[in-house]
C-alpha cells in the first residue's frame, strides 16, 4: 500500500482492461472454460468491492485526540474510544492486505488466460507477418476499437475510458517489462483448431450487440492497448509446438498405459475364471466318483436283497408247514376238549357246569333250574355249538393253567366240589338283582381258605367268556375285585 492514489487508480484500470480483453477473446474463440472465466470475474468484482479503499475515499482512521477533561458524563470513555479506533484500524489494514493479495492473483489469472488465448490462435503460423496481420485484424491497433463485448447475463466491470488507451501507450515499456507479462505463466491446454464459422457468428452477434449499445448510448467498442498483444517469437512458437507434441505423446502413452492396465485386468479375470472352471471340474469329477460309488453300493445291496429273497422262499414254505401243523394240533386239542366236555367225569365239564350255575343262571327261575336236573346238559344246550364251548374254556383248562390259581385242574375241581351242599344249589347267588349283603353272605358262606382264588377265577371267567350268555353278564354282574 505504498503506491500513490494515481498509481492505484491506474492499476485498477489495467486490471479492468485485461479482464475486458480476456472476455472478448474468449467469446471470439468460443472457449467453454467458463469455470476459469467466472474465477477471473470474481477477482475483478472483489476489487470493485474494495474501490473505496483503492481510490482513497476511505482513508486511514486518525488517532483520537486525548481529551483534557470529560465534560459529558454520558460520552464514551477514553478506553472505549481507543478500542473502537483499533477495531477500525484493524479493519482498514485487513482491507488493504486483501487488495494486495487479490491484485497479484488477478494479474496472474488474467495474464495467463490472455496469453493462453493468443497462443491458441497463433499456433501453427510460422510467418511473423501472418501473426501481426491476424492480431491487427482481431484486436486492432493502439487507440482503436476491437470487436466483441462481455458475455451477456454475467457481472462484468465497467469498460475502460478512452484516456486509458493513451495511458497504456505512454506506459508501454514499463508494462512490457512487468514480470507477469510472460507467456511462460500461461496454463497450457490441449490445442483446439480455430473455428472460422464460430468466429464469424460471434462477430455477427457482436455487431448486433454493438448496434444495440449504440442505440442505448453506451460505447460499443473497447480500446485494446497494443502492448497487450505481444507477438510470439519463432523460439516461443517452436517451444509451444514442442510442448504440444510432448503433451500429445504423453496423452498417447497414458492411453496405452490405461489399455495395458485394462488388458491386465481382463487377463486376471480370465485367469480367475479358468481357476474357477478347473475347481468346478474337480468338484464334478469328485461328485461323479461319489455317484459311481453309490451306484456300486446300490448294486451290491440289490444283489444281497435278491439273494435274501431267493433264500426267503424256502423259509416261507417252512413257515406255512408249521402253521398247518399248528392248526392240526389245535384241531386235535379241540377234539380232545370236546370229548372231555361230553364226559361227565372230566374237570372241564365240571368247570363249565360250575361257571354256568354260579354265574350265568337266572337265580329268579329256581323252579325251572331244579326241574332240568343235570346242569351240564343245560350248559351244552345253551351254547350254539360244542366248538364255541371248547374255544371259550380251552384257555381256562386246556393247558391246565388257571389265572390266579397255583394248583392243578384236579385241585381246582376238588376245591370246588368239597363244599356241601354244592355251590350251584345256593339261592340268589350271583344273580342279576343281587345286593352287597347277599354277595358278602355268599362269599363268606364258602368256608374255604382259598375263597380269594375262587373269586379271581370267577372274575376271569366273566371277562373271558364270549358265548351266547355275554349279554347276561353285562347286565348286573358285581365287581369281585373289591373283595
The secondary structure of the chain, three-state, reads CCCCHHHHHHHHHHHHHHHHHHHHHHHHHCCCCHHHHHHHHHHHHHHHHCHHHHHCCCCCCCCCCCCCCCCCCCCCCHHHHHHHHHHHHHHHHHHHHHHHHHHHHHHHHHHHHHHHHHHHHHCCCCCHHHHHHHHHHHHCCCCCEECCCCCCCCCCCCCCCHHHHHHHHHCHHHHHCCCCCCHHHCCCCCCCCCCHHHHHHHHHHHHHHHHHHHHHCCCCCEECCHHHCCCCCHHHHHHHHHHHHHHHHHHHHHHHHHHHHHHHHHHHHHHHHHHHHHHHHHHHHHHHHHHHHHHHHHHHHHHHHHHHHHHHHHHHHHHHHHHHHHHHHHHHHHHHHHHHHHCCCCHHHHHHHHHHHHHHCCCCCHHHHHHHCCHHHHHHHHCCCHHHHHHHHHHHHHCCCECCECCCHHHHHHHHHCCCCCHHHCCCCCCCCCCHHHHHHHHHCCCCCCHHHHHHHHHHHHHHCCCCCHHHHHHHCCCHHHC
The neighbour count for residue 441, using CB atoms within 10 Å, is 14
Q: Which residues of 97-108 are buried (b: 16+ CB within 10 A; e: fewer)?
A: eebeebbeebbe
pLDDT less than 70: residues of the chain = 1-60, 63, 65-75, 96-232, 336-483
Q: Which pLDDT belongs to residue 287? A: 87
Nearest Cα to Cα of residue 362 among 237, 222, 475 = 475
CA distance 444 to 451: 8
Cα 13 from chain centroid (whole Å): 64
Q: Which pLDDT belongs to residue 371? A: 39
Mention every residue, 6+ apart, whose C-beta is less than 8 A from residue 481: 459
| Most distant CA atoms of the chain, gap in Å | 173
Q: Which pLDDT belongs to residue 378? A: 45
Output Rg (C-alpha) for the chain, integer angstroms. 68
Phi, psi of 312 (to 5 degrees): -75, -25
Amino acid at each position: 500500500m505504498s503506491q500513490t492514489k494515481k498509481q492505484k487508480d491506474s492499476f485498477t484500470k489495467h486490471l479492468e482492461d485485461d479482464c475486458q480483453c480476456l472476455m472478448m477473446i474468449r467469446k471470439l474463440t468460443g472457449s467453454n472454460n467458463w469455470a476459469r472465466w467466472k474465477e477471473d470475474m470474481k477477482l475483478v468484482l472483489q476489487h470493485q468491492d474494495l474501490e473505496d479503499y483503492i481510490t482513497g475515499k476511505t482513508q486511514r482512521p486518525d488517532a483520537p485526540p486525548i481529551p483534557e477533561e470529560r465534560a459529558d458524563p454520558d460520552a464514551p470513555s477514553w478506553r472505549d474510544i481507543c478500542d473502537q479506533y483499533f477495531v477500525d484500524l484493524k479493519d482498514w489494514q485487513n482491507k488493504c492486505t486483501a487488495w494486495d493479495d487479490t491484485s497479484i492473483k488477478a494479474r496472474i489469472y488474467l495474464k495467463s488466460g490472455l496469453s493462453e488465448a493468443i497462443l491458441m490462435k497463433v499456433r501453427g503460423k510460422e510467418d511473423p507477418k501472418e501473426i501481426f496481420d491476424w492480431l491487427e485484424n482481431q484486436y486492432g491497433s493502439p487507440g482503436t476499437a476491437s470487436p466483441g463485448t462481455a458475455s451477456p447475463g454475467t457481472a462484468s466491470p465497467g469498460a475502460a475510458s478512452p484516456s486509458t488507451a493513451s495511458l497504456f501507450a505512454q506506459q508501454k515499456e514499463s508494462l512490457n517489462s512487468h514480470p507477469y507479462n510472460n507467456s511462460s505463466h500461461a496454463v497450457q491446454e490441449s490445442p483446439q483448431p480455430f473455428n472460422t464459422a464460430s468466429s464469424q457468428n460471434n462477430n455477427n452477434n457482436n455487431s448486433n450487440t454493438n448496434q444495440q449499445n449504440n442505440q442505448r448510448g453506451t460505447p460499443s467498442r473497447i480500446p485494446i492497448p497494443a502492448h497487450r498483444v505481444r507477438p510470439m517469437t519463432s523460439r516461443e512458437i517452436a517451444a509451444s509446438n514442442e510442448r504440444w507434441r510432448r503433451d500429445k505423446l504423453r496423452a498417447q502413452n497414458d492411453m496405452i498405459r490405461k489399455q495395458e492396465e485394462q488388458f491386465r485386468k481382463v487377463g486376471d479375470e480370465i485367469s480367475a475364471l479358468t481357476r474357477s472352471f478347473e475347481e468346478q471340474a474337480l468338484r464334478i469329477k469328485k461328485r461323479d466318483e461319489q455317484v459311481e460309488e453309490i451306484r456300486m453300493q446300490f448294486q451290491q445291496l440289490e444283489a444281497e436283497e435278491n439273494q435274501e429273497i431267493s433264500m426267503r422262499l424256502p423259509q416261507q414254505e417252512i413257515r406255512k408247514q408249521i402253521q398247518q401243523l399248528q392248526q392240526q394240533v389245535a384241531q386235535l386239542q379241540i377234539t380232545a376238549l370236546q370229548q372231555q366236555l361230553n364226559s361227565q367225569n372230566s374237570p372241564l365239564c365240571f368247570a363249565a357246569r360250575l361257571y354256568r350255575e354260579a354265574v350265568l343262571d337266572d337265580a329268579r327261575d329256581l323252579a325251572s333250574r331244579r326241574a332240568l336236573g343235570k346242569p351240564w346238559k343245560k350248559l351244552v344246550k345253551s351254547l350254539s355249538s360244542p366248538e364255541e364251548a371248547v374255544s371259550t374254556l380251552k384257555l381256562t383248562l386246556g393247558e391246565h393253567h388257571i389265572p390266579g390259581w397255583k394248583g392243578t385242574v384236579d385241585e381246582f375241581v376238588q376245591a370246588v366240589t368239597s363244599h356241601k351242599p354244592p355251590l350251584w344249589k345256593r339261592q340268589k347267588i350271583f344273580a342279576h338283582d343281587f345286593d352287597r349283603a347277599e354277595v358278602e353272605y355268599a362269599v363268606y358262606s364258602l368256608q374255604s381258605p382259598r375263597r380269594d382264588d375262587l373269586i379271581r377265577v370267577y372274575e376271569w371267567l366273566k371277562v373271558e367268556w364270549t358265548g351266547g350268555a355275554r349279554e347276561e353278564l353285562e347286565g348286573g354282574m358285581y365287581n369281585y375285585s373289591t373283595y
